[in-house]
Every structure is written in C-alpha cells, then in structure tokens.
C-alpha cells in the first residue's frame, strides 16, 4: 500500500508490523511494485508511476494503481526491515519478468514498452527493444551473471529443482501489445548458459510443474524444449491455468479442470461457479480453493462464493 508493505498474522489477520520501501533516487518516497518473500528476505521494487498501461478489456478503466514496471529492485530483512541491497534499473524492470530461486534473483532490465502506455497510438506501432537478463546474488544484489543475447521475454519462471530458468511471454486473451507471444527459451540458472530456444504457439501464461511447461496450446519439456502430449480445449472465458502435480484448473465457461493422471480426454466442469479473469484457483494440499473473483464482472453465473473442493472418495 503506497510505499509500505504490511505484515499480517495469517491466522487472525492482525497487523504485526509494516515495512517501508527505500526512497527513490533523490529521496522521494516511491510506490511499492513487485513483492516476494524468500528465506527471511523481503524482495520488492519501486514502481514507475509514469508508466500507466491500457486495460485491455475496456479502454476507460483507470490503471494508475495497477503499475507494471519498476525503476529499482531492493531487498529487506523480513524481520527488521533493514535494507540489504538496492539496484536501480538501467532501463526498467517488468514485474512479471522477475523470478527468485536457487540463491538468485532473476530480472530483465529492458527499455519501457512504449506501445503499452494508455497514451500510445496502436495505429502507429513502435519497436520494443530487447533487454538484458540479470542474475543477482540474492544476499548481496551483486550481478552473478548476465545474458544480453536475444532476451525477448516478459515472463520469467524459476525451475529450481532442475536449475533451469524459463523465459516466455504472457500471451493472454487481453494481452498488452508488447506480449506478442510465440517463443519460449530456457537457460541454466547457475551460470546463464542457454539450453534451448524455440518458436511455440500458446495462448496463456506458461505454468511450470516439475519439468513440464503447461499452457493453453501445448506442453513442453523444460530441459529439452520437446513438445509433450497435452490436449487442452476449453470453452470461452478469460483467466489462466493453475496447476498442481495432478490437476490443471482454469476457466472454461464455468470452473474447468483436467486430470493429469486420468486417461480421460478434454475438459471436465464443476458447473454453477466460474473462475475469475486472472488466477484465483489454488490446487494444493489435496484441495481446490477458489476465492471469489467475479465481483464487477459482466458475466452472470449462479453462485458468487468462495469455495473449497475435496476429492470424491
């Protein structure tokens, strides 16, 4: 909220404390952008308040509170709030292109996507230059390695178990102009060595389950890039895939799901409830949890509720 991050008791919701972001260069208070906590360190970024993007569903919604890029990364002690390190961007850090794992923070420093701005004229497309992929030591913020060749991605996913970093696009239904899609690439997390890169047609944000990349449009082996058998056909609706080791949950008119273990083809549905326009299903711990995410949507469905589903015996 603004330049502060609240610490809450997960059981009661009681406020336990708050953390203040470092100031912008020059001393002015900034707006907190990216947020993650890993092994006692709170990671964040200072958002670029001047880069306000279009809302792709309808052009009249105010997106000034939904900022997507940042001018600086930082790390705080998750108990005391003391600043561990800061890193100003040479150009800009897109929030979706930040990932953490294996003792490193990965981020793409890339020129701003001017075509995404609410003021941009889509009839006059401009080029979005490629960026630099940085791997930072999570404890110190020092650059461990960097890759400057063909850094196209707007999304990073850390496959820690396999020492592999996935670079992709967020090719969603209401994507920004810079999310052109059509490519996937993998690099070694430990040293940045490219493993594979390929053209790939997909229409959702890629989701990583162990060594398999799932997306609407296909599945690929994380270590080789080889196409895997995955036939996902769903009805209308926005939203992304949420996956566990055995199940994918997604919007397919109502709540759709695909069992990875069963030989059954196609999408099954839990009717009467629809998922939200982003990611609000959580398949984990043997349950499927879905907080309501339909408020304000133009779609009409039977039940507007928070739900928890358990396996049928």
Length, in residues, of the chain: 313
pLDDT, position 313: 67
Q: What is the pLDDT of residues 175-192, one digit of tens each?
A: 888 888 899 999 999 999
How far is residue 196's CA from residue 39's CA, in Å, rounded to a whole number?
30
Residue 79 sits in the same domain as residue 44: yes
Final residue of a structural domain among 162, 197, 230: 230
Residue 193 sits in the same domain as residue 182: yes
pLDDT, position 197: 98
Long-range contacts of the stretch 2-8 (C-beta < 8 A, 24+): 2/29, 2/31, 2/32, 3/29, 3/30, 3/31, 3/32, 4/32, 5/32, 5/35, 5/42, 5/44
SS3 104: strand
pLDDT at 250 over 70: yes
- For the full predicted model, state whether its pTM sits above 0.85: yes
pLDDT, position 14: 97
pLDDT, position 149: 95
Average pLDDT over residues 112-134: 87
Q: What is the pLDDT of residues 70-107, one digit of tens each?
A: 999 999 999 999 999 999 999 999 999 999 999 999 99
pLDDT, position 294: 77
pLDDT at 57 over 70: no
How far is residue 9's CA from residue 12's CA, in Å, rounded to a whole number?
6
pLDDT, position 75: 98
Which ranges in 26-119 belong to alpha helices (H)?
none
What is the percentage of the chain residues whose pLDDT exceeds 70? 97
Which residues, 6+ apart, have CB-to-CB distance to 22 below 8 Å?
30, 46, 72, 74, 83, 86
pLDDT at 55 over 80: no
Structural domain for 250, as ranges:
233-313
CA max distance for the chain: 61
Final residue of a structural domain among 181, 196, 230: 230
| Structural domains of the chain, count | 2
Residue 177 sits in the same domain as residue 271: no
Q: Over the chain, what is the mean pLDDT? A: 90
pLDDT, position 151: 97
Final residue of a structural domain among 204, 230, 256: 230
Q: Residue 22 maps to which CATH number?
A: 2.130.10.10
């Amino acid at each position: 909220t603004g330049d502060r991050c609240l610490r809450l008791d997960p059981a009661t919701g009681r406020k336990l404390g708050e953390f203040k972001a470092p100031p912008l260069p020059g001393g002015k208070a900034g707006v907190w952008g990216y947020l993650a906590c890993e092994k006692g360190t709170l990671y964040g970024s200072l958002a670029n308040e001047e880069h306000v993007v279009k809302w792709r569903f309808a052009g009249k919604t105010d997106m000034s509170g939904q900022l997507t890029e940042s001018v600086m990364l930082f790390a705080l002690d998750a108990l005391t709030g003391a600043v561990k390190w800061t890193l100003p961007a040479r150009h800009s850090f897109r929030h979706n292109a930040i990932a953490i794992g294996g003792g490193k923070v990965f981020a793409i420093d890339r020129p701003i996507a001017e075509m995404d701005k609410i003021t941009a004229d889509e009839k006059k497309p401009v080029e979005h230059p490629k960026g630099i992929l940085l791997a930072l030591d999570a404890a110190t913020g020092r650059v461990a390695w960097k890759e400057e060749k063909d850094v196209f991605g707007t999304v990073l996913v850390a496959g820690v178990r396999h020492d592999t970093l996935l670079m992709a696009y967020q090719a969603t239904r209401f994507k920004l102009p810079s999310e052109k899609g059509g490519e996937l690439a993998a690099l070694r997390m430990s040293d940045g060595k490219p493993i594979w890169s390929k053209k790939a047609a997909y229409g959702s944000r890629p989701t990583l389950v162990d060594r398999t990349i799932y997306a609407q449009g296909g599945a690929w082996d994380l270590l080789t890039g080889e196409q895997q058998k995955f036939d996902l056909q769903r009805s209308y609706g926005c939203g992304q895939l949420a996956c566990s080791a055995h199940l994918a949950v997604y919007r397919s008119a109502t709540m759709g799901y695909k069992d990875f273990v069963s030989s059954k083809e196609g999408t099954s549905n839990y009717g009467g409830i629809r998922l939200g326009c982003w990611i609000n299903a959580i398949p984990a711990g043997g349950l499927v949890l879905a907080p309501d995410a339909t408020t304000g949507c133009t779609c009409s469905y039977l039940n507007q509720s928070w739900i928890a589903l358990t396996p049928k015996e």
